Amino acid sequence: MPRRNWNRFVSRYKILSKTVRGNIIVLVAPSGAGKTTLANKLLEDFENIRFSVSATTRSIRNNEVHGKDYYFLSEDEFQEKIEAGEFLEWEEFYNGIRYGTLKSDVEKMRDNGYYVLLDIEVLGAVNIKKIYGQQALTIFIKPPSLEVLEKRLTDRGTESEQTLKTRLDRAKKELSYENRFDKVVINDDLNHAYSKLKTMISGFMNKN
């Protein structure tokens, strides 16, 4: 059997047999570095990866869907989940806007044999690594420069002047976290970055 088909066979066997718990893959980066773009490509290519949908108190963007991109919650709903211990981790990102990873969703997907993909900011990723250790692969997605990051965020067209500035200020700090993670991928040319990312993830899957 060709190797690609064999890998598919093995991953399907793991999912269907539910004998192996899936591990965690974290994409972490300053806002605008390309996590969402890369995550979507991974989800298209790897049938054994599922996306962990986070909860957030930020408002929904035009192209987003509740339950697919995020669970969009009110302040009170988010606070109730904190108090009920439903988050693996949560962080305030800017201006009181909070984001959190839901424990039950992640564990359910792992129980079903899937690798779980998280797209989260640096502090949350550090916490996930503390919780899961070797069972988590944390990959820092680095923009080629701050100028490119600014251009990507501006061109994405999702930010006001104020939120763009806040995100860029935060990005400057987040870039100094690079060496806290297992791997780094520079997202210059998208195809090149994606190919490196795929190789890292395949290596992690073969070890775990």
31 interacts with ligand ADP by CB under 6 A: yes
Residue choice 11, 15, 25, 31 for contact with ligand 5GP (CB under 6 A) = 31
CA distance 115 to 51: 9
The 136-165 site mask, x for binding ligand ADP (CB under 6 A), equals ----------------x--xx---------
And the tokens for 109?
């997907």
Residue choice 15, 121, 129, 149 for contact with ligand 5GP (CB under 6 A) = 121
Query: Tokens 């989800």 label which residue?
Result: 43
The 179-208 site mask, x for binding ligand ADP (CB under 6 A), equals --------x--x--x---------------
Residue choice 10, 48, 91, 164 for contact with ligand 5GP (CB under 6 A) = 91
And the tokens for 156?
């994405």
Establish how many alpha carbons lie within 13 A of residue 189's alpha carbon, considering only the half-sphere containing its beta carbon: 4
Query: Of 16 and 60, which has the nearer Cβ to ligand 5GP?
Result: 60
Q: How far is the CB of 60 from ligand 5GP (least distance, A)?
A: 10
- The item of ligand 5GP, ligand ADP, none sharing an interface with residue 121, based on CB under 5 to 8 Å by kind, is ligand 5GP
CA 78 to chain centre: 19
11 interacts with ligand 5GP by CB under 6 A: no
Contact call for residues 26 and 137 (beta carbons, < 8 A): yes
58 interacts with ligand 5GP by CB under 6 A: yes
- The item of ligand 5GP, ligand ADP, none sharing an interface with residue 132, based on CB under 5 to 8 Å by kind, is none
- The item of ligand ADP, ligand 5GP, none sharing an interface with residue 22, based on CB under 5 to 8 Å by kind, is none
Residues forming the site for ligand ADP (CB under 6 A)? 29, 31-37, 152, 155-156, 187, 190, 193
